[in-house]
């Protein structure tokens, strides 16, 4: 990089950070999204309200183009508050904090009651066999491996039991599933999340149980393996609903055909307010465009903010975006996703070619003064993932500090009050800085 370019780029990036750290606009937008609209499960009235509101926000910014992209999404509803209760242990009855897993079938109005069998792996479940599982509730109780410094790795080592537990248990005749919440800490709040079923396998009710009550249930089972658990959930899946991805863009001045996406998912789970997951990512993505406009940064390549719908329980927004990008023969050179909370930035993960990674590394001295020390090849994200293979698009995951993310992830405490403005705005600036460099120099 030429010295005069380095100096000019350094000045521009400094202006980006100065603007972000003195701005309240994105944080105030997050406040409106979470407090006035609330949680935004796909197919819900709140999700529809979020689409229209975010479209209006970007419309008012004077972008080159703001539009909606149609996508049909699932409509699952939780129903009444779930009931989970140990009914006949030697220690007496005990209420347990549970939350239906997204996509789960209900139990019926009367609920179900059955003995519980605890396992920590699918292999352990298979060894028990049908004789010991049939007619029972399977309790998957594999905790996070907290020796991982990156909590995303701990999550990856445990989440398969949430997604695949109901099918594995149903194949052996189980009548229900409890899954230890995906969390590092011992908490009272349950963490929901998506599960899945398989054609030809019975659909059985599935719920997350808080880590505190998972430990308690495990202790009770040690003392009384015959205890019964009562489970009542009234969740159901309704017909699909028309929804939208929300898109705003600034057209490139020199190579408008080359597109850089920055985005997050507008939908959230129906517990809490979807603040960290993923209100912050969406507002940061919009904020990138706001800063370019306010600072009169005219990108050489097209910069597009995409608020994806239905990441949590279907990924249909990301799939539709990639489908239309291919159909329209669009040339994406990079896509950046923010879906790991609004915490202090640490860096980026890049899934791209060796040349692309080397080019990103060449910007090291421009980024590290702002705490962006971590740059590795482990990149991408759920919503941008379907773009993989369309040309040489680099898939980039924004990486904030991960230590607190799973305190809030998919819970009723993922609320606006648990987002720090400076941390969130540092994320906006980090993404804007990288987008600026990509727009200037490409990949």
Give, in order, the Cα–Cα distances in Å from 321 to each of 12, 97, 252, 350, 387. Answer: 31, 37, 20, 20, 8
Closest CA to 431 of 311, 312, 338, 316: 338
DSSP H stretches of helix in 97-209: 122-133, 151-156, 160-170
Cα separation, 390 vs 212, whole angstroms: 45
End-to-end alpha carbon distance in the chain: 14
Q: How many CB atoms lie within 10 A of CB 46?
A: 20
Active site residues: 311
Q: C-alpha dihedral over 218, 220, 225, 231, to 10 degrees?
A: -80
Residue 211 belongs to what H/E stretch? helix 211-223
Q: How many CB atoms lie within 10 A of CB 367?
A: 21
Cα separation, 422 vs 20, whole angstroms: 8
Query: CA gyration radius for the chain?
Result: 23
The DSSP secondary structure of 217-280, one letter per residue, reads HHHHHHH-TT-EEEEE---EEEEEEEEEEEEEEE--SSEEEEEEEEEEES---SSTT-IIIIIH
Give, in order, the Cα–Cα distances in Å from 362 to each of 15, 209, 248, 262, 357. Answer: 20, 46, 29, 21, 9
Q: What phi and psi, each to the nearest 5 degrees, are found at residue 265?
A: -105, 130
């Amino acid at each position: 990089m030429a010295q005069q370019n380095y100096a000019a780029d350094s000045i521009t990036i400094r202006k980006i950070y100065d603007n972000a750290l003195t701005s309240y606009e994105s944080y105030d937008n997050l406040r409106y999204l979470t407090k006035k609209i609330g949680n935004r499960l796909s197919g819900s009235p709140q999700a529809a309200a979020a689409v229209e509101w975010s479209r209006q926000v970007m419309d008012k910014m004077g972008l080159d183009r703001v539009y909606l992209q149609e996508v049909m999404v699932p409509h699952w509803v939780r129903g009444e508050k779930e009931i989970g209760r140990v009914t006949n242990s030697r220690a007496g009855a005990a209420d347990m904090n549970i939350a239906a897993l997204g996509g789960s079938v209900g139990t019926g109005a009367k609920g179900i009651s059955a003995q519980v069998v605890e396992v920590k792996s699918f292999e352990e479940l298979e060894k028990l066999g049908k004789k010991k599982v049939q007619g029972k509730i399977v309790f998957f109780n594999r905790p996070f491996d907290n020796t991982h410094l990156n909590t995303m790795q701990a999550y990856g080592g445990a989440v398969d039991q949430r997604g695949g537990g109901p099918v594995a248990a149903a194949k052996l005749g189980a009548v229900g599933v409890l899954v230890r919440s995906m969390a590092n800490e011992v908490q009272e709040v349950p963490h929901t999340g998506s599960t899945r079923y398989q054609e030809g396998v019975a659909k059985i009710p599935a719920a997350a149980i808080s880590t505190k009550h998972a430990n308690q249930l495990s202790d009770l089972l040690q003392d009384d393996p015959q205890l019964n658990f009562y489970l009542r959930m009234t969740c159901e899946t309704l017909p699909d609903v028309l929804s939208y991805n929300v898109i705003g863009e600034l057209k490139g001045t020199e190579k408008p055909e080359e597109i850089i996406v920055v985005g997050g998912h507008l939908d959230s789970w129906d517990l809490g307010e979807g603040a960290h997951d993923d209100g912050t990512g969406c507002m940061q993505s919009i904020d990138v465009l706001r800063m370019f406009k306010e600072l009169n940064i005219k990108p050489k390549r097209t910069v597009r903010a995409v608020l994806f719908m239905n990441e949590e329980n279907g990924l249909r927004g990301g799939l539709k975006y990639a489908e239309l990008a291919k159909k329209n023969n669009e040339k994406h050179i990079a896509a950046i996703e923010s879906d790991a909370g609004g915490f202090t930035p640490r860096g980026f993960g890049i899934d791209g070619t060796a040349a692309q990674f080397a080019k990103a590394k060449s910007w090291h001295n421009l980024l590290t003064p702002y705490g962006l020390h971590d740059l590795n090849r482990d990149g991408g994200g759920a919503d941008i993932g379907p773009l993989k293979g369309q040309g040489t698009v680099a898939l980039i995951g924004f990486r904030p500090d991960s230590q607190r993310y799973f305190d809030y992830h998919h819970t009723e405490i993922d609320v606006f009050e648990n987002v720090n403005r400076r941390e969130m705005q540092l994320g906006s600036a980090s993404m804007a800085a990288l987008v600026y460099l990509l727009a200037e120099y490409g990949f």
